[in-house]
Structure 1
């Protein structure tokens, strides 16, 4: 089978034996994978790693079961599946021993993968493999970030990465008012099409936290899906106002920024909750939600397996709007 492994900061395609499913394992024919920011960080050596070097990259995939090992009861040949981002986190608190795909164990940029049956969930027939591959990281992260959001709440999303785009759509489906930030008029128009009620250009308005307050009559956001980290957190605190908002701390796309003033954090009354994507139970909850209130994942481009390098370059250019997908079909 064909696989990709990193070598000196670039992807190298190799031929390796197709794995055989062991007891409790399922052999999946990978049909599509999607890229996330962490995949770039791992490839560039800029993300913590707990496994050996040269691991197969990419954390998100969709495919079909082609064989099962002894004792498997959850799946059978022909079933359509997606992976769980944290393969050993079933429910409850994330285990301390959790290892991620691509930086702790082999990921999904391969034609076949044998994984434990508990590391997969069923993919609805209403979603294509390409759409399904966008869900394990970005969609589940958005889903858990919005836990507890009620109709009428104000949700703030930052930028147009995968998590933020899913958060816009899921928040609207929950009946929330969405305020989004972006960097261009073209992306603002697309965010409006997805359902954003207010879009703020953070380039034209560097003090966008105050703009969020102004656009909500001084109320601020009830929930902030904070993907920027050091580069955006101070403005997120401003956008939170003083009414005990929750900041769902997702990532650190902005690698530097002003230090956080303790008194600003104290006065905001904000609760900060670190998001670790989610468990298998969270993933299954999301898929049940999508069966009733479907949304269409935003896909920027689909690349062939042979053109995986171009997919990574497209994603790294930050010109994409939506998920970059690689298909093995």
Structure 2
């Protein structure tokens, strides 16, 4: 089987290899991969910036879609030919998160989607809305579900205000879901063309953070001084301090990403106490969450924003592209 393996802590260690064709065991299915999308986690793993302790080699990429081509013994809920996505954290089926679930993640430590076929437990897959193409569907299980879980944590009512950051896949899906639910969305970017795209997707206001160094002041100007009710933070680092100042009393902030850094040095406790803020950490969601999210995508006919498209042979280039941030939307590897 044609596949890529990440064998070390640099992107140069990604090797195209010939692996034995995987066979589904009892309760498993084999999926012929049609498309796989790139998350920042994939890039961080491939460059040694995140979880360097994970054993190598493994097949990268946590997100993908394909059609079932073989059923293991005892599988009766799915049929050959059905189009499905795989749940990223394969053992997290329902209920609250448990730390042991980290060991069941696709694209490290378990083999992911940058291969012609993948074998998954039948109880860790979900059917794809028919109106989405393969590239769109491949973006759903990680960044899409993360955005959905983030909005659930924000506990907002229709008309509430939400701040999202940039044009990455989590932020874009959070924007699309928030608009569908009737929230007022304020977005940030550093590019005029991207600002227009954000407005086209439904953002009511867009802040150019290269022109406004005081993000909190800009947000408060747009909210009559009160701040936003919810924040989806994908950046992390020192800018988190400004987010605390941009939040309204009793606001909820969801910490998802670490594009800038995992470290924050400054006054965190003061704003938390004085404004009674609520901070949540989010890492995707359960399989039942994924299925509920997919139902909402179908109900609102939400089409995820796909960025650059790559061929299977361009696997390394696709992963590297996540660091450039030039495209709006999520990079996708489309298999031939």
TM superposition score normalised by structure 1 = 0.96
Determine the C-alpha separation between the residues in 1 that align with 2:96 and 2:52. Answer: 21
Q: Secondary structure at the match of 1:164?
A: helix
The question of 1:60 aligning with 2:63 is answered yes
Q: Partner residue of 2:121?
A: 116
1:12-34 Cα shifts (integer Å, max 9, x gaps) = 11111111100010000011000
The question of 1:239 aligning with 2:246 is answered yes
Contact 1:49–1:103 (CA under 8 A) maintained in structure 2: no
| CA shift for structure 1 position 219 | 2.1
1:160-179 Cα shifts (integer Å, max 9, x gaps) = 11100111111000000000
How many residues in Structure 1 have an aligned counterpart in Structure 2? 328
Contact 2:7–2:58 (CA under 8 A) maintained in structure 1: no
The question of 1:128 aligning with 2:133 is answered yes
The question of 1:250 aligning with 2:250 is answered no
Unmatched tracts of structure 1, length 5 or more = none
| CA shift for structure 1 position 258 | 4.1
Contact 1:42–1:102 (CA under 8 A) maintained in structure 2: no
Q: Partner residue of 1:277?
A: 284
The question of 1:328 aligning with 2:335 is answered yes
Contact 1:157–1:167 (CA under 8 A) maintained in structure 2: yes
Distance 1:199 1:258, change over 3 A: farther
| CA shift for structure 1 position 186 | 1.5
Determine the C-alpha separation between the residues in 2 that align with 1:44 and 1:51. Answer: 12
Matches within 5 A, 1:166-315: 166-241=173-248, 243-255=249-261, 258-315=265-322
Contact 2:128–2:137 (CA under 8 A) maintained in structure 1: yes
Q: Secondary structure at the match of 2:182?
A: coil
Distance 1:28 1:260, change over 3 A: farther
Q: Partner residue of 1:78?
A: 81
Q: Secondary structure at the match of 1:316?
A: coil
Determine the C-alpha separation between the residues in 2 that align with 1:80 and 1:86. Answer: 19
Unmatched tracts of structure 2, length 5 or more = none
Determine the C-alpha separation between the residues in 2 that align with 1:54 and 1:219. Answer: 50
